[in-house]
Structure 1
């Protein structure tokens, strides 16, 4: 910087002046000692030499102050440059992270919608993933049974891929609202048995909405509704059919309590 250069030049000039005054003082001292000059010239020489040393010291202090100030400024500038570089690095790292596709959970890719080199549209799905270790069965419950369907209820699941096998299951999630178009309530069930499931399998769910122990069950066709609305069944007594009242309860497929 220009100010520091001027201060350094001032130090050099002050040093030369101080050196000159020192030599001149030594010369005057010799002449006074020989009697060639009066003693008052020696005193004047000492004053000039002290003044020159004072100017040199002042010039040095000024240079030191300027250099110290420049150093602090230079450090501040460098610190600002470092901070700016760190911010640019952080921004570049953030942009790089945006280029990496990170799955929100560990799973298996089941569908790919965008291939390498394709132009990806904003907010368009790139792929579909599934956690095959925790698959659920999703089904729709009719509106008539929507209210009584609760989390934790037992069920039986039959999969087309496993014919003749009924798998015990339990309702893990009940959606909070009905499908306004289908008038059904969606539920998700967890199969308790260890079976290999594949996303997209088709099956049938039998919900156990209510259970009664030691109930008498007959085919629903055996129950006759009279004109008065009473439920009756016919039983054989002494080889003859006799009508008996039979209030009904829970219906389960082709059977009734």
Structure 2
């Protein structure tokens, strides 16, 4: 009987020991938070197709902000710029000509119209002067006098209209025509500005300091429009991604600093929290472990103070332990 009790006691102790080894890591808070380095590359491309004339960088190069990256053959865009410049010059000439008015040879037509209208008005006035006294004597009916008066009034109106047309031609085009000419000039200049901007687009510069992650085309190869030519990984787009248990989330906030470690890195590295996911998730398989499995966690991103490589695993010290 004693032996059976002893055996049962030993089995119970063994069961408690196994349960402690399995459950203790899951019930106790983790010593570190598992994570990794994530990088968001910029894929640099040109809005026009053409042969790659020059590649100023290669894979693995470090670049500074504003450094030249590549150049697409500018022949096609240069031709478009020349055409746009010619259109601007033509539109400006038309607008200037609209403000000058008609030339002397062209004004002669308006002078002839005025002279013809004045001649018709003189004839109508002479006819009116002949009919008026005869109508007063009763030789002509009153209707005849009214017709002569109407003919003279119409001839006088034609003279006034011809003179106004001649004056408008001498002073310049109408305001509507001038505005239309100015609009054509503005449109041509906008086209020229767009072409010059395209010249900048075919020879872009690095928008920020970083590393060339990959180069997809070499000089001489034909590059389709909007096809990435290289991938640039800016230093400010490399960040830590780690996962915080739900119970400890209140200790984290954007702007706070965390300590982390990685293989081959210097001691005492820090990162500033920039983002906390508003949605919980279960521990991703990429950081799956016995201590972390089945935990409800929140994704946290932090900007490191040193240059790291994407995919590199890191261990982040929990804030409650860092205090």
Shared fold (TM-score, shorter chain, > 0.5): no
TM-score range, shorter chain: 0.3 to 0.5
Structure possessing the higher radius of gyration over alpha carbons: 1
Return the structure number with greater helix share: 2
In the superposition, the TM-score normalised over structure 2's length comes to: 0.37
In the superposition, the TM-score normalised over structure 1's length comes to: 0.45
Structure of greater relative contact order (alpha carbons < 8 Å, 6+ residues apart): 2
